[in-house]
Structure 1
């Protein structure tokens, strides 16, 4: 199928455009990479359009990772220019986070769509609880000096991020803070870590989905090129608007809203599992 034939899929295109706008606004407003928005949104869009439930979640997760590549590069570059990127920690994490993400991407093909939904839901609940109660620093703070702990954490963050389809910021930022990094350094380093996660995870999902039947048009494995283009471009355009809105709103309230959003998304994912 070529790009011209995509015109017959206008509901798909329109829904992708709405997803791009929403994920861009959320990324700027809430300080997240957008994966927490993109995955459930793409999953909903593809489900409504009648694609198989197993294929839907895999495409949503794999494509979300691909979308994070350009947005993550731009974010990492901005943080590097401001000196808020810890290169020592970055190079300590990268080999292990790349390994964890690539393995997660390859193994995703072995899991059903429902398994991926459960992983997303459980981790959404954990991330939401950590936003509200900040328990990770208390649990892991005493391990901050251990290089081995950094490497294990990097592998786990990479593996889980691949199965969720996120850039890992919701996991890596609180982990780096728990290990003693300042918030600015954690956010900047996490942006670069997110690029490594996205590159490795995208490759894994492209390979594991190669030749799978029932994929949406213009897909390479579990990576949908139409969604990659439309969502990434619109997300990049609308993220600055979200950032401007964020500076006008109470940050504590925003964190609470994001935590509630994650719980609602997690419950919706579990409902799909139980209803299916």
Structure 2
């Protein structure tokens, strides 16, 4: 067990540095790292992606709190937007976990790999949506929140990859979009954690120390390490050429996505 804890502390340390350095969501790094670690550890292959997604969302609960509190102190969270989008995000995320539980690990790997290809293109092109309109009404925000929630639960992220571009398109400034997205990530992570816990509760083939589809040794190691290493990444971001590092990391993501796609097929 000590070796396993050390492994996940190492993964958490890497994820924390990359998240702070490159400004990427934790799940984007944690999910593929967990897939490789779970494979090495010999966890049940038919539940491997479900465990990775559930554990990733559980870890985001902890990182989202520290993130949105820091943004809130700088006045960068639009709480009225959080309040309007959260109901749809909660419903969508919870529903998405039930959908994910019915899908195979192979399908989820392919879906996640395609998502990584999209993120790679986004990072290499540097394209951002042009402001085009105001925030939609209640029904529109419910639908947007639901869509972000479903997608987030299927790839184990806090939703920033979708919510930030959406808010930029709705004429919300970049800093407020990032801060508001961090706050939205908290209810998404809570709903996703509950959903993966419930869906895995009756599954008998899961490894010891699992709480539904949440693998507790991995969760403990990732949270304990990433909380300390993320600030290091932030400090490095002010002294290193982050734009170039993002391109290098995008190429690494491309390799990870291709590897995951290959193993799924």
Alpha-carbon distance change, 175 to 209 in structure 1, aligned in 2, over 3 angstroms: same
Which of 61-70 and 162-171 deviates more?
162-171
Q: Alignment partner for residue 235 of structure 2, among 244, 248, 267?
A: 244
Q: After superposition, what is the alpha-carbon deviation per residue over 1:184-234, rounded to whole angstroms, capped at 9, x for unaligned? A: 001100100111110000000000111212222211100111111111010
Q: Alignment partner for residue 194 of structure 2, among 203, 210, 225?
A: 203
User: Is 1:25 aligned to residue 24 of structure 2?
Assistant: no
Contact 2:4 2:217 in 1 (8 A): no
Q: Alignment partner for residue 142 of structure 1, among 126, 129, 132?
A: 132
Alpha-carbon distance change, 239 to 145 in structure 1, aligned in 2, over 3 angstroms: closer
Rounded to whole Å, the distance in 2 between the matches of 1:262 and 1:149 is 33
User: Is 1:233 aligned to residue 231 of structure 2?
Assistant: no
Q: After superposition, what is the alpha-carbon deviation per residue over 1:20-57, rounded to whole angstroms, capped at 9, x for unaligned? A: 11111111111123111111111111111112212111
Which of 102-111 and 202-211 deviates more?
102-111
Q: After superposition, what is the alpha-carbon deviation per residue over 1:149-181, rounded to whole angstroms, capped at 9, x for unaligned? A: 443222111111111111112222122112211
Rounded to whole Å, the distance in 1 between the matches of 2:200 and 2:212 is 4
Which of 57-66 and 117-126 deviates more?
117-126
Q: 1:4 aligns to what?
A: none
Q: 1:56 aligns to what?
A: 48
Q: After superposition, what is the alpha-carbon deviation per residue over 1:110-153, rounded to whole angstroms, capped at 9, x for unaligned? A: 01111111111111112222233355615xx4354423444322
Q: 2:59 aligns to what?
A: 67
Q: Which segments of 5 or more consecutive residues in structure 2 lack a partner in the other structure?
A: none
Q: Which segments of 5 or more consecutive residues in structure 1 lack a partner in the other structure?
A: 1-8
Trace 1:161-172 onto structure 2 (pairs within 5 A). Answer: 161-172=152-163
Q: 2:211 aligns to what?
A: 220
Contact 2:90 2:191 in 1 (8 A): yes
Give aligned pairs, total.
264
Q: Alignment partner for residue 166 of structure 2, among 175, 178, 201?
A: 175
Contact 2:12 2:225 in 1 (8 A): yes
Rounded to whole Å, the distance in 2 between the matches of 1:264 and 1:152 is 33
Q: Alignment partner for residue 270 of structure 1, among 253, 261, 265?
A: 261
Rounded to whole Å, the distance in 2 between the matches of 1:23 and 1:211 is 30
CA shift, 1:271, in A, is 1.0
| Superposition TM-score, scaled by structure 2 size | 0.94
Rounded to whole Å, the distance in 1 between the matches of 2:180 and 2:60 is 15
Q: Give the SS at the match of 1:51.
A: coil
Q: 1:6 aligns to what?
A: none
Q: Give the SS at the match of 1:142.
A: coil
Q: Alignment partner for residue 254 of structure 1, among 238, 241, 245?
A: 245
Contact 2:8 2:222 in 1 (8 A): yes
